[in-house]
Structure 1
Amino acid sequence: MQQAENGGEEEATVDVQFTDLPNALIACKVPEDLFNEGSLKASFEALFRSFDPEVQFQYFRSFRRVRISFSDALAAAEARLRLHKTDFNGKEMRLYFAQSVHIGIGWEQSQDATPVINYDLLCAISKLGPGDKYELHTATPTTPSVVVHVCEDERGDSSAPDDSDQDDKPRPSRPKIIQTRRPDYSPGVKQ
């Protein structure tokens, strides 16, 4: 703060950096008619155009707010100083500085983890024959066991092509896994 003397009186001047201030205001609790009537909207915008002819408006009807963006922070500060808590169409107009949010600076999407392939499980399942089972997880007092069963084939045909060309003895045919039938639909609560 700098001080100067003029004829015995002290006058204080403040050195403010207006580049640190936001260049937008938010008008809160504006009259509902502002969103419907063109003439009311024009008179509202005229209040702010006197501070900056290039001012821009964004209307948020559901929040009953208007964002007023000025070309510089000095015009926004002056408009707030003169118009905050003034009457507009029978309502007290409240103006607040809009905070700027910077999203995405330095942000990078994380890399997806490499999927875990359990080769022991794949090997055990590939060796299962019809009617065999493989226990994935042993039961505990609080959890059930998880067991893979290979179903018997009712028709006797194979679901996979026979890849026994290189072996002298044929491999047992693999049964086809039949999809579990969806339970019958029973209507719940009627609306």
Structure 2
Amino acid sequence: MHIKTTKCNRFCLVASVTNHEVFNRPEAQANFEALFRSFDPEVQFQYFKSFRRVRISFSDALAAAEARLRLHKTDFNGKEMRLYFAQSVHIGSPRLEPPKPDKQFLISPPASPPVGWEQSKDATPVINYDLLCAISKLGPGEKYELHTATPTTPSVVVHVCEDEHGESSAPDDSDQDDKPRSPRPKIIQTRRPDYTPGVEQ
């Protein structure tokens, strides 16, 4: 968990200035800086016009404290000036931390499964033994009605496929001795074309 900590900078003041002349006119800027140089000759200034703030860095913490004590809520060119000690905010680690490993197992593939995770077993396939038995009893030229027709649904009937000569593809045990089985057509492999060397130019 990131912890927000605030630390006060005893060497730096932030001035809230509502007078725009400090940011636009060099004369007003010189008068503003002269107020603080009386406390510390080595004071440095950073102007932030869009925020209407001036950062004032002192070389001595006692000089910064005395300037804040004497100049806070004083009048400068007809406008009130307020002074605050600068604060540095530190939130957690200076580096970006990785996320908590609570739900990293959702990454595919997971780096490591969570505690108590087990591989799920495949479901047993559903086999309709009644249908297999009925199909095995089919004879040549016969059909089997799987579902009887109702007033709202049609009937489902299985027919035995026939070959090219109109005969049943199912073997007939009674005629197996009398009628020789016709040989199946053989698949002929396509011949590779002759190699022709390329013509060099």
Name the TM tier (shorter chain): 0.3 to 0.5
Give TM-score scaled by structure 1 length: 0.45
Larger RCO (CA within 8 A; separation ≥ 6): 2
Structure with the greater alpha carbon radius of gyration: 2
